[in-house]
Amino acid sequence: MKIPILTPDKPNKNNRIYPREVMEREMRKYCEAFIKEDRTLIVSKLPEVVSDDGALNEYCQQVLTANPKSIADYKKGKVNALNHLKGQVMRLTKGKADILKVETILKSKMT
């Protein structure tokens, strides 16, 4: 069911605009602003990613020492234990860690 949102600036049938149309309109505005402005705009809005191997190794080691039960569970074959450890690394880095590198580091340290 579509929920109508009344708007005076861009009415469509029966002076109503729907959430999908709002999203499309806002996306169009953003893209037009990007094309008109300097191309560094999009780069500045990208999130930081921690991909330094030394830093990631340190974070992974902290997580592994704090979670011995998850290591034991992973060695028993529980894949969710690895997901828990990855989540703990992401918590330490505030979501900025390169998750693929974190996964390979954790797997190598646990085997």
Q: Where are the domains of the chain?
A: 5-45, 53-110
With a pLDDT cut of 90, the percent of the chain lying above it is 37
**Reported pTM:** 0.58
Please give the average per-residue pLDDT across 84-93, as a whole number. Answer: 92
pLDDT given at position 98: 86
pLDDT per residue as tens digits for the range 61-82: 999 999 999 999 999 999 899 9
pLDDT given at position 1: 45
DSSP code per residue over 40-83:
HHHHHHSPP-B--HHHHHHHHHHHHHH-HHHHHHHHTT-HHHHH
- pLDDT of residue 54 exceeding 70, the answer is yes
Answer CATH for 53-110 from 1.10.10.410, 3.40.980.10, 1.10.10.10, 3.30.70.1400 = 1.10.10.410
With a pLDDT cut of 70, the percent of the chain lying above it is 63
